[in-house]
Amino acid sequence: MQFDRASGGSVVAGRIEPRSDLAGATTCRKRIRHHSTAALAFMFVVFFEWNTAMATAADTSANPLLAPWKGPWGGVPPFDVVTTADIEPALEAGMREQLGAVAQIAADPAPASFENTIAAFERSGRTLARVQSVYSTLTGCKSDEPLRAVEKKMSPKLAAFEDGIYQNDKLFARIALVYAVRESSGLTPEQQRLTWLAYTNFVRAGAKLDAAAKQELSAINQKLAELTTTFSQNLLKCETDEFILLNDETETAGLADDVKAASAEAATALGKPGKWAIQNTRSSVDPFLAQSSRRDLREKVWRMFVGRGDGGVADNNQIITETLTLRARRAKLLGYPTHAHWRVEHAMAKTPERALGLLEAVWKPAVARVRMEVADMQAVADREGAGITIEPWDYRYYAEKVRAAKYDLDKSAVVPYLQLEKLREGMFYTARELFGLEFRPLEPGRVPVYHPDVRVWEVVDGAGSHVGLWYFDPFARTGKRSGAWMSDYRAQERFDGAVSPIVSNNCNFMRGRPGEPVLISWDDATTLFHEFGHALHGLLSNVNYPSLAGTNVARDYVEFPSQLLEHWLSTPEVLEKYALHHESGRPIPKELVTRIERAATFNEGFRTVEFLASALVDMKVHLAGETPIDPAQFERETLADLGMPREIVMRHRLPQFLHIFGGDGYSAAYYSYLWADTLTADAWEAFTEAGGPWDKDVARRLRDRIFSVGNTIDPADSYRAFRGRDAGVDALMRKRGFVKH
């Protein structure tokens, strides 16, 4: 499973393929994405064709993807021996194996029970899970043309395979029998939850539809799989192939040394030594827009970035139109008014209306704040005699000037204290103080990795017992999608013996000069802690069944632990120990920390509005149902109706909105970040009310009631067990510095 950060920092959407909207994202055990089937006969045809093909294909017995993982701690992914040629036959073999297991469960003559049906289904597909773990990692972190060709070929096959499982009538009938008696048959609460999840997933995937509807639904799902793959690959092409080259020193005016050095390294990597490249990724574009004094180049870079996927050879607009039409039709077949209603039904929000209610409650105060921010920026530009009206490509640049004037804070003055490696140590300190975890670095070569950038740590508890493994892949490179995310290579479980989790954090920080510390921005540091929060959610899981483990929770709940962990970056304990000047080694001055704290809600209008605009457009475009959508027109008209400030664009315009068009993961669910931040703000106040961010009792409740329970209980109950009550919106408004209207 993979998660991205939505706002603040160098973040771009991900291709999150949800196993269910009831469980935050895909477990690598089973990538069952709520697709339907073309009837049971189709499954047998596919099964026959695969077996026939494999009878004449090369022997797969030596395929490293099909063997149980070898090595310490229950095995590790075999990144060192896998080739692209291994992937397709391994996926097909894994699918055949799971289809065989499912067929046995469905044909079992014994009465249906938890053990021979629910547990057996949970156990099926372990080989495929291992294959998909490696496959999804490589497509996200080491993509190239041969791998993209495999991805295009296999995505509809995987969709059809998943449909074949979810629409197996005999299997569903057995699951339904167990579900009907789950509360009276002596099952544990966790077993009841797993039974409910299995039954609900099948129903929402169309298990109750007639054969004709199933056939239509299967065709829709296969086409959607093709479209989301093409959308993702188009965007990756934009980010990989497009850049703006700066040819002389005058074009780098205003850039901080670290940004200039990173741009020079990027140009060299692109075969343009002696120049500076601004690549078409957020981690490259945002600092340029904030620092460059060349307004003409700021506009050029901005237009390149906001135009990703909007025209040219990587145009995503027709894909968007077709995707929305298919999603709307699928929702109708499943009995829902719109895709949004289907998507949100079992999230915390329950209905699109409740999600919209939260977004709209924050929209007005956020826009009001933007008006104030723009007025402040325009005043600075006027005093300087710039003779301009603030435009979107000016916002970050003049915001920094206002920050310096109002708070005596230059964000570039903070950067020398933000060394990537020191902040990583600060994350480890936070994990130790809150949860008693220790991170022990493994020697290179101890476990295989897919790229030399990747390093691995063993995670142990206070008694020195093994907890899991944490992989860290921090740098941008060709073939790696932009942004920051967490991946779950293997979920924790105690089903057939104890299995420890393996997780990773992936970022796209720009390299500096060789041998020098990598410096990052405050926003990037916040992103670093955010993704580490997802990793801790996976590492601290303490459940029996992998489908309920770790981050397999409702979409609008999964971002809560990660957003909460961001708060520890700014604690005095972390800053004093780990925010050290890269040359002098001295800690960040207390007066600078004070200025950071005073400016905590500075530019909050911009951050909130660019996120809310994306979330509102996402929800509204999916509430449009079967109405034909022209992406540019819909985006333009919806933003006009909202009263979108002209100085800001959506954080993710529709042609590049990978969260919602690179998969179903956050479709009609991008609001989730704000919903989760409502919990985050309230939970942080639990610490402040108890005396501080390191309070042991609150930290223990956080671990026991939030981080460790996964999806074994309803998330609302989980939060109430931690906080003693539900969260309201007041803490969120206080956190963002808005007046509640």
Is residue 560 domain-resident?
Answer: no
**From the DSSP assignment, how many helices (H) and strands (E) are in the chain?**
28, 8
- Confidence at 10, pLDDT banded by 50, 70, 90: very low
Number of domains in the chain: 2
So what's the pLDDT on residue 739? 65
Q: Which residue has the higher pLDDT, 46 or 682?
A: 682
Could you give the dihedral angle defined by the CA atoms of residues 701, 702, 704 and 710, in that order, rounded to the nearest 10 degrees? 150
Residue 22 has pLDDT above 60, yes or no: no
Q: Of 5-19, 62-76, 424-438, 641-655, which range is least confident? A: 5-19
Q: Determine the pLDDT at residue 40.
A: 40
φ, ψ of residue 729 to 5 degrees: the values are: -90, -10
Shared domain for 124 and 183, answered yes or no, is yes
Calculate mean pLDDT across residues 526-543.
Answer: 98
Averaged confidence pLDDT in the chain: 91
Are the beta carbons of 469 and 500 closer than 8 angstroms? yes
| 91 SS3 class | helix
**205 and 265 part of one domain:** no
Same domain membership, residue 41 and residue 118: yes
Other CB atoms within a 10 A radius of the CB of residue 115 amount to: 12
pLDDT value at 741 more than 70: no
Beta strand pairing call for 466-475 and 455-460: antiparallel
Clarify whether residues 171 and 298 are in a common domain: no
Tell me the C-alpha to C-alpha distance, in Å, between residue 91 and each of 42, 68, 163, 218: 19, 14, 16, 19
Q: Do residue 226 and residue 251 come from a single domain?
A: no
Q: Which range among 26-30, 92-96, 407-411, 516-520 shows the weakest confidence by mean pLDDT?
A: 26-30
**Do 543 and 509 touch, CB atoms closer than 8 A?**
no
Q: Pairing relation of β-strands 243-246 and 2-4?
A: unpaired
What is the rounded CA–CA span in Å between residue 437 and residue 540? 9
pLDDT tier at 576, thresholds 50, 70, 90: very high
Position 12 confidence tier, pLDDT thresholds 50, 70, 90:
very low
CB burial of residue 400 (10 Å; 0-12, 13-18, 19+): buried
- The least confident of 49-58, 255-264, 374-383, 704-713 is 49-58
In-domain check, residue 252: yes
Confidence of residue 640 (pLDDT cuts 50, 70, 90): very high
Side-chain half-sphere exposure of 22, counting CA atoms within 13 A: 23
Mean pLDDT of 623-639: 96
The band of 180, judged by pLDDT with boundaries at 50, 70 and 90, is very high
Do 113 and 191 sit in the same domain of this protein?
Answer: yes
Average pLDDT over residues 185-207: 97
On the 0-12 / 13-18 / 19+ scale of CB atoms within 10 A, 372 is exposed
The pLDDT, as a whole number, for residue 3 is: 65
Give the residue from 187, 209, 236 where a domain finishes.
236
Coil, strand or helix: which one is 653? coil
Structure confidence at residue 24 (pLDDT): 37
Higher per-residue confidence, 134 vs 258: 134
Three-state SS for 577-595 is HHCECCCCCCECCHHHHHH
Write down the pLDDT at residue 5.
Answer: 55
Nearest one of 737, 666, 711, 731 to 200, comparing CA atoms: 711
Tell me the helix, strand and coil percentages in the chain, rounded to 5.
Answer: 55, 5, 35
Is the separation of the CB atoms in 617 and 638 below 8 Å?
yes
Token pair listed for 18: 């949800």
* Predicted local confidence at residue 1, as pLDDT: 63
Residue 40 β-bridge partners: none
Residue 625 inside a domain? The answer is: no
Ramachandran assignment for 519, one of left (phi > 0), alpha (psi -120 to 50 degrees), beta (any other)? beta
Confidence bin at 7 (pLDDT 50/70/90): very low
Which of 187, 206, 236 represents a domain boundary (last residue)? 236
Helix (H, G, I), strand (E, B) or coil at 532: helix
The one-letter amino acid at 128: L
Token pair in block for residue 46? 């596919």
Q: 3-class SS at 614? A: helix
Strands (E), 40-185: none
Last residue of a domain, one of 236, 251, 282: 236
Does residue 58 register a pLDDT over 60? no
pLDDT: which is higher, 122 or 482: 122
Does residue 87 lie in a domain region? yes
Instruction: Return the exposure string of 230-266: e unless at least 16 CB atoms fall within 10 Å of the residue's CB, then b.
Output: bbbbbbbbbbbebbbebeeeebbebbbebbbbbbbbb
Q: Which amino acid is at 515?
A: G
Buried-exposed string 144-165: b where 16+ CB fall within 10 A, e elsewhere: eeebbebbeebbbbbbbbbbbb
135 and 190 both lie in a single domain: yes
Residue 21 has pLDDT above 50, yes or no: no
For residue 44, pLDDT over 60 is answered with: no
Distance CA 417, CA 434 (A): 24
Q: Is 421 a catalytic residue?
A: no
The single-letter code of the amino acid at 705 is R
Torsion sign over Cα 121, 127, 130, 132: negative
Mean pLDDT of the 125-141 span: 96
Question: Looking at the domain assignment, is residue 219 inside a domain?
Answer: yes
Location of structure tokens 């408004």: 733
| pLDDT surpasses 60 at 428 | yes
Looking at the structure, do residues 120 and 199 belong to the same domain, yes or no? yes
With H, G, I as helix, E, B as strand and everything else as coil, classify residue 353: helix
Radius of gyration of the chain (CA): 25
Alpha-carbon distances, residue 459 vs 73, 450, 464, 538, 540 (angstroms) = 11, 20, 9, 12, 10
Give CA angle at 232 (506, 219), nearest 5°.
130
Largest Cα span, the chain: 84
Helical segments of 189-254, H only: 189-204, 211-241
Per the structure, the complete domain to which residue 76 belongs is given by 34-236
Is the domain of 58 the same as that of 149?
yes
Does the residue 356 lie in any domain? no
The strand ranges marked E within 450-581 are 455-460, 466-475, 485-490, 502-509
Return the pLDDT at 412.
83
Token pair 């093909």 in the structure block, residue: 53
pTM exceeding 0.75:
yes
Residues ≥6 apart with Cβ < 8 Å to 204 = 20, 21, 22, 34, 334, 342, 345, 346
Task: Assign 49 a pLDDT band (cuts: 50, 70, 90).
Answer: very low
pLDDT at 706: 98
Same domain, residue pair 126 and 215: yes
Q: Find out whether 352 and 623 touch, Cβ atoms under 8 Å.
A: yes
The Cα–Cα gap between 381 and 387 comes to 7
The answer on 144 and 265 residing in a single domain is no
Q: What residues form DSSP beta bridges with 20?
A: 23
Specify the CATH number for the domain of residue 164.
1.10.1370.40
| Residue 80 and residue 62 share a domain | yes
Is 723 domain-assigned? no
- In this predicted structure, the answer to whether residue 533 has a pLDDT above a threshold of 50 is yes
Q: Please report whether residue 343 resides in a domain.
A: no
Catalytically annotated residue among 17, 92, 531, 559 = 531
